[in-house]
Structure 1
Amino acid sequence: MSDYFHNKRIVVTGGAGFLGAYILKGLQDRGCGHILVPRIEDYDLVRPADIERMYDDMQPDVVIHLAAVVGGIGANREHPGEFFYKNLMMGVQLIEQARLRGIEKFVAIGTICAYPKFTPVPFKEQDLWIGYPEETNAPYGLAKKMLLVQSQAYRQEYGFNSIFLLPVNLYGPGDNFSPASSHVIPALIKKCVDARDSGADHIECWGTGKASREFIYAADAAEGILLATERYNGPEPVNIGAGFEIAIKDLAEKIV
């Protein structure tokens, strides 16, 4: 295993979250002795002053930016403005201050929600700009997508090494099972458990079930992110996924 991470100070925003737990474990397994996780109680990363203070306190060599204000369909419908503003301000200022401080590398984690609504499947990076995202997720998806634009612009003008990765939908132990903000797999699991506990003989799923999604196990996504952190230094976005999709109806039947 490479010693790339051994002597580096790595800041992981969102390190206390679902994917963050797998990233932290991966860094520990690689012998990284300086893993730094800014907590919202100490640093509100939507505020530029807190971002500057975080960088001054932690002095990172590499930043892996996982933090996001995100939720399921219901949360996206109720808070489109909040999701757009907070995700955009957080990412843009983190990259700008990293650039000003000469940080060695910035790893911006995007979202599959950045892809256009009618993108052919499986998703390919060259299709990222062929249309507008699905309307419900667009404010969040476009806010994250701007980090790709910023990364490419900063590389071109300043020579700043910022890469942009797009993990597909995640699942695995430690996921969010809240009915208000969970994604499709934990939401379906929660509905099945609740139905069993209440004695119901069916669950209700939104839509026709024909829509398809691509999923990846969270530990595998973390491995892909860490490999890219170590080895990838290019301007183009990179998907991190399984390479195939499953219809929601078929997914629900598997879970049931």
Structure 2
Amino acid sequence: MKPDSLIYVAGHRGLVGSALIRRLEKQGYGNFLTRTSKELDLRDQAQVEQFFKDNKPEYVFLAAAKVGGILANATYPADFLRDNLLIQTNVIDAAYRHDAEKLLFLGSSCIYPKLAPQPMTEDCLLSGPLEPTNEWYAIAKISGLKMCAAYKRQYGFNAISVMPTNLYGPNDNYDLENSHVVPALMRKCHEAKEAGESFLEVWGTGAPRREFLYVDDMADACIHLMNNYDGEQWVNIGVGEDVTIRELAEIISDVVGFEGTLSFNTDKPDGTPQKLLDVGKLHSTGWRSKIGLREGVADTYEWYKEFRTQNG
């Protein structure tokens, strides 16, 4: 990409999309195309076709998707399957037919098999059963990965895919009903501190191990791969290291300044014992994670406090 290349970031207001815009601006890019979902419904083929015909973006970051937690996936399986299939099919196809130079598609490490060997390499995809709680989302995302590979193989379209690990950072979802572990713990710690609580409940034993990547670091990796990788196979994006949920909770409570006791509710489920990505392929392209977990959590907490101030 050149500094004046026309770049379309689909999903620019979400966790990943907003990080891509921040990081692109920091690296000197400034010619962006963005549309809200009200301005452009990516599920509508005619709207997407017209958008690409009128604007002809040179580079496309496809970060738009229908996402949610376990409850949302269980309640709306048809929506998760249909909406994600429509979004990625419409955008990938239109980008190819209107001569985009390159497209990057965002997958997710949660679409690897439930019991994949650790750390998970790229070739373990489809080697075993999916996690039942998000299989509808996973099936759609796997189709997106394969669609990029198929368009590269049949048409020579330069479409690549990435598989990020667990992400956190500004513009994350802090709703306790369906947020992920970092924003949920951050909000609970903040509210417990404000209320002067003496202890904070954490679900499970605290023993499961998880890998966490600051979203701006992930965006930096995506830009690096857009400029330096053209392979057909997707690329894992992560740090290559994990921590226990207990260690994560201790880091977050320390950053927030919560001085009470962490209480682990062992009646609640732990989930998969470990989820860690093999990032050897990513490292071979010359990119490594730069932002440590404590630094990323601290930056995110500063954003969260400002968000609370502005939104009550």
TM-score strictly above 0.5: yes
Q: Match for residue 12 of structure 1?
A: 9
Q: Secondary structure at the match of 1:76?
A: helix
Relative to structure 1, is the Cα distance of residues 207 and 46 closer, same or farther in structure 2, using a 3 angstrom cutoff? farther
The aligned amino acid for 1:122 is P
Note if 1:87 corresponds to 2:120. no
Q: Secondary structure at the match of 1:137?
A: helix
The aligned amino acid for 2:65 is A
Note if 1:96 corresponds to 2:79. no
For 2:70 and 2:190, locate their aligned partners in 1 and report how far apart those are by CA, in whole Å: 20
Note if 1:77 corresponds to 2:79. no
Q: Match for residue 238 of structure 1?
A: 235
Asked if 2 retains the 8 angstrom alpha-carbon contact of 1:5 and 1:31, the reply is no
The aligned amino acid for 2:111 is A
For 1:125 and 1:216, locate their aligned partners in 2 and report how far apart those are by CA, in whole Å: 18
For 1:23 and 1:136, locate their aligned partners in 2 and report how far apart those are by CA, in whole Å: 28
Asked if 2 retains the 8 angstrom alpha-carbon contact of 1:95 and 1:106, the reply is yes
The farther-off stretch of 105-114 and 21-30 is 21-30
Whose Rg is larger?
2
Note if 1:160 corresponds to 2:182. no
Q: Secondary structure at the match of 2:149?
A: helix
Where in structure 1 are there 5+ consecutive unaligned residues?
A: none
The aligned amino acid for 2:133 is T
Where in structure 2 are there 5+ consecutive unaligned residues?
A: 254-312
The aligned amino acid for 2:79 is E
The aligned amino acid for 1:6 is P
Q: Secondary structure at the match of 1:163?
A: strand
Q: Alignment length, in residue pairs?
A: 253
Q: Match for residue 148 of structure 1?
A: 145
The aligned amino acid for 1:215 is F
Q: Match for residue 44 of structure 2?
A: 47
> Segments of 4+ in structure 1 off by > 4 A?
none
Q: Secondary structure at the match of 2:7?
A: strand
RMSD over equivalenced CA pairs, Å: 1.8
2:127 maps to which of 118, 125, 130 = 130
Q: Secondary structure at the match of 2:132?
A: coil
The aligned amino acid for 1:243 is G
Note if 1:183 corresponds to 2:180. yes
For 1:121 and 1:165, locate their aligned partners in 2 and report how far apart those are by CA, in whole Å: 18
Q: Secondary structure at the match of 1:136?
A: helix
Q: Secondary structure at the match of 1:15?
A: coil
Relative to structure 1, is the Cα distance of residues 124 and 198 closer, same or farther in structure 2, using a 3 angstrom cutoff? same
1:22 maps to which of 11, 19, 26 = 19
> Offset of 1:14 from its aligned partner?
0.8
For 1:42 and 1:181, locate their aligned partners in 2 and report how far apart those are by CA, in whole Å: 26
Identity %: 38
Relative to structure 1, is the Cα distance of residues 194 and 95 closer, same or farther in structure 2, using a 3 angstrom cutoff? same
> Offset of 1:248 from its aligned partner?
2.1
Asked if 1 retains the 8 angstrom alpha-carbon contact of 2:62 and 2:106, the reply is yes
Q: Match for residue 63 of structure 2?
A: 66
Asked if 1 retains the 8 angstrom alpha-carbon contact of 2:56 and 2:98, the reply is no
> Offset of 1:208 from its aligned partner?
4.0
TM-score by length of 2: 0.76
Note if 1:113 corresponds to 2:110. yes
